[in-house]
Amino acid sequence: MIAVFYIASVVAIVSTLMVITRMQPVHSLLYLIVSLLAVSLMFFVLGAPFIAALEVIVYAGAIMVLFVFVIMMLNLGREAAEQERRWIDISMWKGPVILALVLLALMIHVLHGGNPGAASGRVVSPKEMSIALFGPYLMVVELASILLLAGLVGAYHLARRDTDNKEQKRS
Amino acid sequence: MIGAIPMTHGLIVAAVLFALGLVGLLVRRNIIYMLMCIEIMLNAAGLAFIVAASRWEQPDGQIMFIIILSTAAAEVAVGLALVLRFYSRFKTLDADIANDMRG
Amino acid sequence: MFGLFWLVPAMPFAGFAILALMGSRLSRNAIASVGAGTVGVSAVISLGLGLRFLLSPPSGHAYTLTLWTWIDVAGFTPHFALYLDALSMVMTLIVTVVGFLIHVYSIEYMRDDPAYSRFFAYMNLFVGSMLMLVLADNLLLLYLGWEGVGLCSYLLIGFWYSNPANGRAAMKAFIVTRVGDTAMALGLFLLFTKLGTLDIQEMMQRASEQWPVGSGIAVLAAALLLGGAVGKSGQLPLQVWLPDAMAGPTPVSALIHAATMVTAGVYLIARTHTVFELAPPVLMLVAVVGAVTLLLAGFAALTQRDIKRVLAYSTISQIGYMFLALGVGAYSAAIFHLFTHAFFKALLFMGAGAIILALHHEQDMFKMGGLRKQMPVVFWTFLIGAMSLAALPLVTAGFYSKDMILYEAWSSKIGGPVFWLAGCVGAVITGLYTFRMVILTFFGEQKTAPGHGPGPCIKIPLIILALFSTIAGFLEIPRSLGNVPLFSDFLEAALPHAPLTEGSVFIEALLQVIAICGVLTGVAAAIILFARRQEFIRSLMAKPWAAYLHEFWFAGWGFDALYNALFVQPYIYIARVNKDDFTDGFYSGLARITAAFHRALSVTQTGRLRWYMMGIAAGAVIVLAIVVFL
């Protein structure tokens, strides 16, 4: 089981690397989905099956699909890839890579201090999670639902196309 | 599942993923790529929470992950709607075009 | 009678208020009646007060009328109080009677001027302020009157303000007297701080108790008060404003710059004489200033062309006589000369005004001449005034007053022959320039034809003043001629007699004879030089040294040029150099630095999303590093 974890982590890292370096948006999207699946596997190993399922269903299944919709809607095509190549050249990578390496070094330094212990891998069942969710974390649920409502309304309003002047004035 | 994965390793993986997401965010000019990299970073943060939840054998981390998830969902929805508006206005997905608030 | 005392200063102020508020709506005659009438009422009341004062003087020879308490702060309580003693009685009579005559004169003189009501409003304000000055019970109220007359002098010199030269003359007068006023204010501060009161009699009492004779504090206080007196009376070194003040209308010159305001300095020194007596060096300085000024102004008057400037320098010179008298301790003599001078100088100015008016505002004497036959009233009154100014013996008031000064200068314990000699030489020069003026104006060939002659409003005051110029002298006749010390006895309660060494009547008569000879020599010289042998003057002027001296005296001994170089030019230079105002530069420099920072920092506002993200990420990393490592 432990090996699964490590293999999945390597897959996730590699595919994420591929996400940020591809020129075609659809390609990087697909690599992102692979990365998300790998992470879901890691969740499963760590004893959170419900979350693993949620990751696949919501994240990879809904959010990425949204991305696909938009990319297809925008109909980017080959010129997009050409454009991407023109925009990205090697010299642009220097600054962010250095910054990220510094951040990484910092985080690793922080993480190595102390002895946090080990993940035991005991499964935390959905039952326990739900009891906690509808117990002490009830407000969180409500807030999350309001957030989703706001997102819903906002997305609907923003994405509406103004077909003619009457609609424009009314909105 | 039997076996103990050191929490440090899990958190390091999360850190690496986060850093990769950050690099992608800073380098890319296309808005869609930026949004994707944000998703990567959010996912990495969620991973860190789940690792911690597994370590302490408590559901709290998982609940936090659910919140992150719903936040990411709402944010993607609104963000992509904005991308559509952006595209219809500027006819391109270059983030550098929108620089009127300068000076 | 004393119940009406407060009306004396109140009437002119009421006249000012009426004319200031409603003057533009009143007719000429109404304005004239209000303007001259208020002063006339004051004059009548003053005469009544004088009579009452003579016949039954109040206890202590002084009457105080407290109107109200002006300020009451921490033990400082000057009252609005009027103080009537012999000295202020004399001054009040002069101001109101001569003032009334001049107001009547200006009814006709200013008849054609569009700003008729403004003129009378200012004149009334002046008379009110001057009365406040002479009737003040404490030095603060006196200073109020002092400033008030300064203000009115400025307003009236610059009366015809559309000509910028008049405005400049007014400013010059105000600024120069301001220097003196500041010295006087400092003196008041000193007196109050050291003695605790500004009430004049009280202050002098305490000063004589607390300050030893010749102490530094008394010298300083007296010197500061002298500074104020010198400014207001136009003595050295602040005499430069008086000749230029002739830019105002002639009644203004007559009232303010001859009879009343310029004598305020003499009044101040006489009023606070105790302080001056406690500072003998300053008293000596008063006499020296008087002596030098009378000679200086006399020589300057000899070369002037404008008839009013001759009279202005003559005023400076005569006030120099008064200062000389004060300096040797002869206070009554100074006041007596002030008394007679008011009459004949006002007369001379009014006569000059009548001439100027008739000749259509021609003021250059060399363009006058031969007016004797055509303006007889003016000629005869002017001649009487000139004789009084030159102090022709026995028949003129000027003779008696000037003689008294000369004798007391010789025989005073703090005087001496030097002062007498200065006065004598001055008398010779006075005779010379006075009759030069008379001859150039009234004799010889006529160069400008006069228009219509003066009306009764001008002629009657001239005649009245000519009468006073003759008989006023008989109030004080010296021992050698009859010994009638009416005037100095009247003033005895207020001003001490001069400290004279006992001299014989013979010495007095001898000194008088010498002085008379000097005066007659001057008059005769004037007649010969300017009426008979005019070519002598012309040949003298051809010599370069004579021409240079003439120029020098014409410019008032170069004081204007001196002050210009010493004060005006450096000030203008500093103002020009400091055009950008270095203290302001500090604040604008701050603003410029801020703007520079703004420009530098706005380079970071590119508006590009990735740039901002980079900034956020880098900032977060740095903060994290600080938290982790520190």
Q: For residue range A159-169, list pLDDT tens digits in order.
A: 877 654 444 55
SS3 readout for C90-106: HHHHHHHHHHHHHHHHH
Residue of A nearest to B75 (CA): A151
> DSSP code of A61?
I
> Binning pLDDT at 50, 70 and 90, where does residue B1 land?
very low
Average pLDDT estimate for C474-500: 76
Across the interface, of A103, A109, A110, the residue whose CB is closest to C621 is A103
- Residue C604 forms contact with B (CB below 8 Å): no
Q: What is the mean pLDDT of residues B73-94?
A: 90
Q: Which segment of B30-34, C85-89, C533-537 scores lowest on mean pLDDT?
A: C533-537
pLDDT of residue C407: 86
Q: CB within 8 A of A87, min separation 6: which ones? A: B29, B30, B94
Task: Name the residue of chain B whose CA is nearest to A122's CA.
Answer: B1
- pLDDT tens readout for residues C107-122: 988 888 888 889 999 9
Chain C residues inside the 8 Å CB shell of B29: 610
Please answer whether residues B75 and A151 qualify as being in contact, where contact means their C-beta atoms are separated by less than 8 angstroms: yes
Out of A122-126, C206-210, C289-293, give the one with best mean pLDDT.
C289-293
CA distance to partner chain B, nearest, from residue C611 (Å): 8
Least CA distance to A113: which residue of chain C? C628
- Of all residues in chain C, the one with the smallest CA distance to A101 is C621
Over chain C, what is the mean pLDDT?
87
Cis check: omega of the bond before C485, within 30 degrees of 0:
no
C499 contact partners, CB below 8 Å, separation of at least 6: C329, C412, C413, C414
- The more confident residue out of C604 and C93 is C93
pLDDT at A163: 58
Taking an 8 Å cut-off on Cβ atoms, the answer to whether B23 and A29 are in contact is no
- Judged by a CB distance cut-off of 8 A, whether residue A102 touches chain C is yes
Cβ-defined contacts of C617-626 (< 8 Å, 24+): C617/A96, C617/A99, C617/A103, C617/B22, C617/B26, C618/A99, C621/A99, C621/A102, C621/A103, C621/A106, C624/A103, C624/A106, C625/A102, C625/A106
Query: Is A53 in the B-facing interface, judged by CB distances under 8 Å?
Result: no
pLDDT value for A168? 52
Residue A137 has pLDDT above 50, yes or no: yes
Question: What are the DSSP calls for A79-142, one per residue?
Answer: HHHHHHHHH--HHHHHHHHHHHHHHHHHHHHHHHSS---EE------HHHHHHHHTTTTHHHHH
Confidence band (pLDDT; 50, 70, 90) for A28?
A: very high
What confidence category does residue C78 fall into, taking pLDDT thresholds of 50, 70 and 90?
confident
**Rounded-to-integer distance, Cα C83 and Cα C141, Å:** 11
Could you tell me the CA-to-CA distances from C414 to A78, B57, C498 in Å, in that order? 120, 118, 10
Task: Round to whole Å and give the CA distance between B25 and A16.
Answer: 12
Chains that touch A (3 or more CB pairs under 8 A): B, C
Contact yes or no for C521/C513 (Cβ under 8 A) = no
Does the pLDDT of residue C171 top 50, yes or no?
Answer: yes
- Gap between the Cα atoms of C45 and C8, Å rounded: 7
Residue of B nearest to C615 (CA): B26
Asked if A168 reaches chain B (Cβ–Cβ under 8 Å), the answer is: no
Which H or E element spans position B78? helix B60-90
Amino acid B48: pLDDT: 93
| pLDDT given for residue C555 in this prediction | 84
Judging contacts by C-beta atoms under 8 Å, the chain B residues touching residue C607 are 98-103
Q: Taking CB atoms and an 8 Å limit, are C617 and A106 in contact across chains?
A: no
| Residue A72 in contact with partner chain B when CB distance is under 8 A | no
Probe site for chain A from B2, B25, B30 (most A CB atoms < 10 A): B30
Residue A61's pLDDT is 92
Q: What's the one-letter identity of residue C402?
A: K
User: Looking only at Cα atoms, what is the longest distance across chain B?
Assistant: 59
Q: Is C614 on the interface with A (CB under 8 A)?
A: yes
Q: Å from B54 to nearest chain C CA? A: 26
> What is the chain A residue with the closest CA to B61?
A129
Alpha-carbon radius of gyration of chain C: 30
Instruction: Give the range among A10-19, C211-220, C531-540, C554-563 with minimum mean pLDDT.
Output: C531-540
Query: CA-to-CA distance for C158 and C145, rounded, in angstroms?
Result: 20
Is pLDDT at C540 greater than 90 in this prediction?
no
Q: Could you tell me if C359 and C450 are in contact, meaning their C-beta atoms sit under 8 angstroms apart?
A: yes
Residue ranges of A 92-151 with Cβ closer than 8 A to chain B: 92-93, 95-97, 99-101, 103-104, 107-108, 111-112, 116-124, 128-129, 131-133, 137, 140, 144, 147-148, 150-151
Average pLDDT, chain A: 85
Q: How big, in percent rounded to 5, are the helix, strand and coil portions of chain B?
A: 80, 5, 15
- Residues C72-78: what's their mean pLDDT? 81
Minimum mean pLDDT range among A70-84, C26-40, C457-471, C557-571 = A70-84
Taking the CA of residue A48 and the nearest CA in chain C, the distance in Å comes to 30
- Angstrom distance (rounded) from CA A44 to CA A123: 9
Q: For residues C503 and C193, which has the higher predicted lDDT (pLDDT)?
A: C193
In this predicted structure, the answer to whether residue A171 has a pLDDT above a threshold of 50 is: no
Q: Please report, as a single letter, which amino acid is at residue A141.
A: V
How far apart CA A122 and CA A49 sit, in angstroms, is 11
Amino acid identity for residue B67 in this structure: I
Q: How many CB atoms lie under 10 A from the CB of residue B11? A: 21
pLDDT (tens digit per residue) in B26-82: 988 888 999 999 999 999 999 999 998 888 888 899 999 999 999 999 999 999 999
Given this model, what pLDDT does residue A170 score? Answer: 52
Contact C621 A102 (CB under 8 A): yes
pLDDT classification of C549: cutoffs 50, 70, 90: confident
Kindly state the average pLDDT of the residues C383-391. 91
Nearest CB neighbour to A36, from listed B6, B10, B43 = B43
Put simply, whether A74 touches C (Cβ < 8 Å) is no
Q: At residue A17, does pLDDT exceed 90?
A: yes
Report the distance separating Cα C233 and Cα C286, nearest Å: 12
Q: Which chain A residues touch C617 with a CB distance below 8 Å?
A: 96, 99, 103
Interface contact flag, B101 C605, Cβ < 8 Å: yes
Positive or negative, the Cα torsion across C143, C148, C154, C156? negative
Kindly state whether C623 is in contact with chain A, defined as any CB-CB distance less than 8 angstroms.
no
Return the H-helix or E-strand segment holding C84.
strand C79-85
Q: What residues of chain C lie within 8 A of the CB of B98, using their CB? A: 607, 609
The helix/strand/coil state of C533 is coil
**CB spacing of A106 vs C621 below 8 angstroms:** yes
Query: Quick check: A101 contacting C, CB < 8 Å?
Result: no
| Closest to C106 measured CA to CA, from C464, C462, C384 | C462
Contact A158, B86 (CB under 8 A): no
> Would you state the torsion angle of the CA atoms of residues C284, C285, C291, C295, taken in this order, to the nearest 10 degrees?
160
Which residue among A25, A97, A124 places its CB closest to the CB of B32?
Answer: A25
Give the rounded percent of residues in chain C with a pLDDT score beyond 70.
Answer: 100
Amino acid present at C198: L
Query: What is the C-alpha to C-alpha distance for residues C508 and C512, in angstroms, rounded to an integer?
Result: 6
Is pLDDT above 80 for C94?
A: yes
- What's the ipTM? 0.90
Residue among C229, C113, C125 nearest C162 (CA): C113
Contact C614 A96 (CB under 8 A): yes
Judging contacts by C-beta atoms under 8 Å, the chain B residues touching residue C609 are: 34, 95-96, 98
